Chain A
Amino acid sequence: MPSATTVSGRRVAALYTPGDIAALDYQRDLGDPGEFPYTRGIHASGYRGKLWTMRQFAGFGTPEETNARYKQLLAAGGTGLSVAFDLPTLMGRDPDHELSLGEVGKCGVNVASLADMEVLFSGIDLGAITSSMTINSPAAMILAMYLVVAEQQGADWQTLSGTIQNDILKEFIAQKEYIYPPRPSMRLITDVFAFCAQHVPRWNTISVSGYHIREAGATAAQELAFTLRDGIEYVQYGIDAGLDVDEFAPRISFFFNAHSDFFEEIAKYRAARRIWARVMRDTFKAGNPRSWQLRFHTQTAGVTLTAQQPYNNVVRTALQALAPVLAGTQSLHTNALDEALALPTAETATLALRTQQIIAHETGVTEVVDPLGGSYFVERLTNDLEEEALAYFDTIDRMGGMVEAIERGYPQKEIAESAYLFQQAVEARERIIVGVNDFIAENEDPLHILYIDESAAGTQLARLAKVKAGRSQAAVEQALDRLKRAAAGRENTMPPLLDAVRAYATVGEMCDALRAVWGEYVEVPVI
């Protein structure tokens, strides 16, 4: 008998009836799509008005190689770009730093200075497309680079659109790509909120991310709770920094995981919208409906991909992708079949995009908004997930907030516990993973995978040396000094960062300037 629990360990009944949702009030708890509390979606017309953005995360090697992949994805019908940076860039280290050895261009594209950003977007009109950039500790530096490239292309910042992930809290909780301690990290984020509210009003200044929290082992309820509680923390810090809630809240976006448990995932997205709408209207007293509307990107669960029988991953990904579509996601990334082994090849990346196109154009699921609304099961699950998330909010509030909870290691421990329980269930074969602990194939043909060689490092080191030789060192030092003074005081750090970028200061130099002022965060390792 298959176990009667979801992938998150939630017990499920064999049948749900009207009794499960007896207390549900349509107007209060669901509302029509486009109406508060947006449980059924933020757009009245669902996908009839506009399909979700098919945004495939990509980046590897040099800016030249990644630029070519972007052009291929756009030519194949992709409708937005999504930049994956390598670990040196994500950690604010230049390619010539000793910690960058062996990491340049491996997990994403290497960007050390404006010169790299110019190549990355060469021949791509930043005024015409939207870009998502997955970067957190050095988010302000990379956003500044993007803005300067847009400026060079003649694109207007007022109409420029895209997303910078800029979500440091989930780095402390899950992905661990942090540089500075939590409080100065939050300062950098509210500086981006304030700057963009004025100068880049259509930019999504943060993508509050549950994706990485889930990948680290969280349950669906933990992903929901920690992500939304992170969102609340950012709103509070923005208000504390002197911003009006409606000035920046409409530009907050979210990013969730699409894991394997179909109905639980659908309920999770619906609960997220309802919780956020109520918190923003009732707790933060936001007056602009756009501040109430939770917009989200989704990515299928990388952690569910298996190295064994990798073609099974196409099926997993297609089923996972259907859940956020049925729940009204704004954009979607579908993983490629080979991602348990390597970064995707051009062929597998195209197949991943095709998966979305088939859902969008062949299945008919886009024609009706929130087609599962009113299902006894889905509504009950939505209520249950909301209730569990609110209980986590209470616990975190009692600790003083999410920053304080992180400093105590609370969400980190909760996630580690869930990850271990899941692994034990797999070992005990209480949970079956096809091709891994059941239905195993003995002799599998090896897959042709993308092998990132060492040449990217050479190209990047050469360009870095050329940039350093060709720029005005005095201008760089002046800009970095101004950045340090802003960081030590209260001036917004974005204007000095833009000047540093224009002077071709590197990511490592800008991050080091702030390291000198704010110090670095070191996690206490616990198991």
Chain B
Amino acid sequence: MDHKIRVVIAKPGLDGHDRGARVIARALRDAGMEVIYTGLRQTPEQIVAAALQEDADVIGLSILSGAHMHICPRIMALLEERGLRDVLVVVGGIIPDVDIPKLNEIGVRGIFLPGTPMQDIVEFIRKHARARVETA
């Protein structure tokens, strides 16, 4: 049997607008992935701890507030520290164009702006999530 891709969906920062996080969590689950939704106001430390504990292949962050340039570098540094460099990190939300290359540079692979079809995100994750050697 194929390994189910494990995704932690997290909402960092103070913002509570969780429509996007919840809709994408459900879409990924309906696409056959194992989805863990952390809930609101998670610190980078909590998100990385959740990824470690859940053996996540992917971390999906929903950020609308403009705090992404503070949150993402911290998460990438913590992943590096914990030896989770192969976890795919994607961000969805309101990200100004000028910040996209900066986020790519620190290792955020997928950045999904308003209006992105859910199917595009599903396909991106399937294509880029770390490969596993499974012993069935």
* Residue ranges of A at the interface with B (Cβ–Cβ < 8 Å): 87-88, 90-91, 93, 99-103, 106-107, 171, 175-178, 215-217, 303, 306-308, 340-342, 416, 419-420, 423, 427, 433, 436-437, 446, 449, 451-452, 522-527
Q: Complex: how many Å from CA A525 to CA B98? A: 32
Q: Complex: how many Å from CA A423 to CA B66? A: 24
Residue contact B94 to A340, C-beta cutoff 8 Å = yes
Residue contact A342 to B119, C-beta cutoff 8 Å = no
In this complex, how many residues of chain B approach chain A with their Cβ under 8 Å: the count is 38
Q: Complex: how many Å from CA A523 to CA B37? A: 12
Give chain A's interface secondary structure class: loop
**Looking across the interface, which residue of chain B has its beta carbon closest to that of A343?**
B66
Partner of B65 from A103, A175, A524, A525 at Cβ < 8 Å: A103
Residue contact B37 to A437, C-beta cutoff 8 Å = no
CB-CB contacts below 8 Å: B13-27 with A: 13-19, 22-23, 25-27
Residue contact A106 to B67, C-beta cutoff 8 Å = yes
Smallest CB separation, A296 vs chain B (Å): 22
CB-CB contacts below 8 Å: B48-74 with A: 65-71
Q: Do A449 and B14 contact each other (CB < 8 Å), given the known contacts A308-B115, A527-B26? A: no
Q: Complex: how many Å from CA A437 to CA B71? A: 31
Q: Does B97 contact A (CB under 8 A)?
A: yes
The residues of A that contact B69 with a CB separation of less than 8 Å are: 102
Q: Do A527 and B67 contact each other (CB < 8 Å), given the known contacts A216-B19, A340-B94? A: no
**Looking across the interface, which residue of chain B has its beta carbon closest to that of A307?**
B114
The residues of A that contact B15 with a CB separation of less than 8 Å are: 87, 107
Q: Does B29 contact A (CB under 8 A)?
A: yes
Q: Do A103 and B14 contact each other (CB < 8 Å), given the known contacts A420-B23, A527-B35? A: yes
**Looking across the interface, which residue of chain A has its beta carbon closest to that of B71?**
A102
The residues of B that contact A451 with a CB separation of less than 8 Å are: 96, 98
Residue contact B14 to A91, C-beta cutoff 8 Å = yes
The residues of A that contact B37 with a CB separation of less than 8 Å are: 525-527
Instruction: Provide a sorted-by-A list of 13 A–B residue pairs whose CB atoms are within 8 angstroms.
Output: A88-B14, A90-B14, A99-B13, A102-B67, A102-B70, A216-B18, A217-B23, A427-B119, A452-B66, A522-B39, A527-B22, A527-B25, A527-B29
Residue contact B98 to A176, C-beta cutoff 8 Å = no
Q: Complex: how many Å from CA A342 to CA B93? A: 11
The residues of B that contact A342 with a CB separation of less than 8 Å are: 94, 96
**Looking across the interface, which residue of chain A has its beta carbon closest to that of B119?**
A427
Question: In the complex, which of the residues B25, B41, B67, B71 has the most CB atoms of chain A within 10 Å of its own CB atom?
Answer: B67
Partner of B22 from A91, A419, A427 at Cβ < 8 Å: A419
**Looking across the interface, which residue of chain A has its beta carbon closest to that of B64?**
A107
Q: Do A107 and B65 contact each other (CB < 8 Å), given the known contacts A423-B118, A427-B117, A527-B22? A: yes
Q: Give the top 5 A-B pairs by smallest Cβ distance, nearest first.
A: A176-B16, A102-B70, A525-B39, A102-B67, A87-B14
Residue contact A99 to B94, C-beta cutoff 8 Å = no
**Looking across the interface, which residue of chain A has its beta carbon closest to that of B25?**
A527
Smallest CB separation, B83 vs chain A (Å): 25
Q: Does B40 contact A (CB under 8 A)?
A: yes
Query: Contact flags (1/0) for B79-109 with A, using CB distance below 8 Å?
Result: 0000000000000001011100000000000
Question: In the complex, which of the residues B15, B27, B71, B119 has the most CB atoms of chain A within 10 Å of its own CB atom?
Answer: B15
Partner of A102 from B13, B17, B41, B119 at Cβ < 8 Å: B13
**Looking across the interface, which residue of chain B has its beta carbon closest to that of A101?**
B70
Smallest CB separation, A13 vs chain B (Å): 31
Partner of A307 from B13, B41, B115 at Cβ < 8 Å: B115
Q: Does B131 contact A (CB under 8 A)?
A: no
Q: Complex: how many Å from CA A91 to CA B40? A: 13
Question: In the complex, which of the residues A175, A176, A217, A433 has the most CB atoms of chain B within 10 Å of its own CB atom?
Answer: A176
Q: Do A340 and B114 contact each other (CB < 8 Å), given the known contacts A87-B14, A102-B13, A103-B67? A: yes
Q: Complex: how many Å from CA A340 to CA B15? A: 16
Residue contact A341 to B38, C-beta cutoff 8 Å = no
Q: Do A423 and B23 contact each other (CB < 8 Å), given the known contacts A87-B14, A340-B94? A: yes
The residues of A that contact B35 with a CB separation of less than 8 Å are: 527
The residues of B that contact A303 with a CB separation of less than 8 Å are: 19
Residue contact B96 to A341, C-beta cutoff 8 Å = yes
Additional pairs, 6, CB under 8 Å, beyond known A100-B14, A423-B23, A522-B39: A103-B65, A216-B19, A306-B114, A308-B115, A420-B27, A423-B118
The residues of B that contact A88 with a CB separation of less than 8 Å are: 14
Q: Complex: how many Å from CA A155 to CA B47? A: 49
Q: Complex: how many Å from CA A215 to CA B23? A: 13
**Looking across the interface, which residue of chain B has its beta carbon closest to that of A417?**
B26
